[in-house]
């Protein structure tokens, strides 16, 4: 009978070397420290930096706008128009995700008598100068139709950049159109 060399073998644990048997070839041995270790030093108290110079108005350069006007609006079938001036969460009973950045999002509750819409179905967020529609892992998906394109269903968690003229169908008769912000006069 041949012995199988590939089998796992059990062996006794290696014994640790005693200090007298230690191999000192790669070890640097130092004597006792001549002084005690340094004492912990209390860090200096924090002081706020001195105030900087006041902003100066430069002739010919306009002051920056504190809040930019929304670049997009949402039109619902019932004629309601909402500006996308912050992140919107739309659904049957929307809630704010545990982690979000920026200003407080707007929650938009949509009618869903047959409960076909997910509680938080869609997110609309401005990223840079673009509007991004994200399916919030909805059960039935979100149908997006960009101008001049065939409808496309966003699967759970998928996002798409949308432009004015885009139609978004959440199901159960809830349809919204993306509009550009009105021209400032």
Q: Which of 60-74, 92-106, 157-171 has the highest mean pLDDT?
A: 157-171
Distance of alpha carbon 24 from alpha carbon 74, whole angstroms: 76
What backbone torsions phi and psi does residue 130 show, to the nearest 5 degrees?
-110, 155
Strands 122-127 and 142-145: unpaired
Distance of alpha carbon 45 from alpha carbon 123, whole angstroms: 45
Alpha helices (H) in 31-72, listed in sequence order: none
Q: Does pLDDT of 68 surpass 80?
A: no
Does the predicted TM-score (pTM) go above 0.75? no
Q: Does pLDDT of 41 surpass 70?
A: no
**Order of strands, edge to edge, in the sheet holding 130-135?**
106-109, 88-91, 122-127, 130-135, 159-162
Distance of alpha carbon 112 from alpha carbon 93, whole angstroms: 9
| % of the chain at pLDDT higher than 70 | 65
Q: What pLDDT, in 10s, does the model give residues 43-54?
A: 667 677 677 666
Whether residue 109 contacts residue 88, with contact meaning beta carbons closer than 8 Å, is answered with no
Q: Which of 14-18, 19-23, 40-44, 63-67 has the highest mean pLDDT?
A: 40-44
Distance of alpha carbon 53 from alpha carbon 56, whole angstroms: 9
According to the CATH classification, is domain 72-178 in 3.20.20.10?
no
Whether residue 118 contacts residue 91, with contact meaning beta carbons closer than 8 Å, is answered with yes
Instruction: Please calculate the CA angle 183-132-173 and round it to the nearest 5 degrees.
Output: 90
Q: Does pLDDT of 153 surpass 90?
A: yes
Domain coordinates of the chain in residue numbers? 72-178
Give me the mean pLDDT over the 168-178 stretch: 95
Whether residue 153 contacts residue 135, with contact meaning beta carbons closer than 8 Å, is answered with no
Instruction: Please calculate the CA angle 176-180-184 and round it to the nearest 5 degrees.
Output: 140
169 CB-contact burial (10 Å; exposed 0-12 / middle 13-18 / buried 19+): middle
Whether residue 130 contacts residue 100, with contact meaning beta carbons closer than 8 Å, is answered with no
């Amino acid at each position: 009978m041949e012995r199988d060399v590939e089998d796992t073998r059990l062996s006794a644990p290696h014994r640790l070397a005693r200090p007298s048997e230690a191999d000192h070839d790669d070890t640097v041995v130092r004597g006792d420290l001549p002084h005690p270790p340094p004492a912990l030093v209390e860090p200096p108290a924090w002081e706020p930096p001195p105030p900087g110079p006041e902003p100066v108005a430069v002739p010919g350069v306009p002051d920056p706008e504190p809040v930019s006007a929304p670049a997009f609006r949402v039109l619902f079938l019932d004629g309601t128009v909402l500006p996308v001036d912050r992140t919107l969460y739309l659904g049957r009973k929307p809630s704010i995700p545990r982690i979000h950045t920026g200003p407080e999002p707007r929650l938009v509750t949509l009618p869903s008598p047959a409960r076909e819409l997910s509680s938080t179905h869609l997110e609309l967020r401005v990223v840079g100068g673009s509007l991004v529609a994200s399916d919030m892992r909805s059960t039935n998906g979100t149908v997006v139709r960009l101008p001049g394109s065939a409808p496309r269903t966003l699967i759970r968690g998928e996002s798409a950049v949308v432009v004015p003229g885009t139609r978004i169908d959440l199901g159960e008769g809830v349809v919204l159109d993306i509009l550009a912000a009105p021209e400032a006069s």
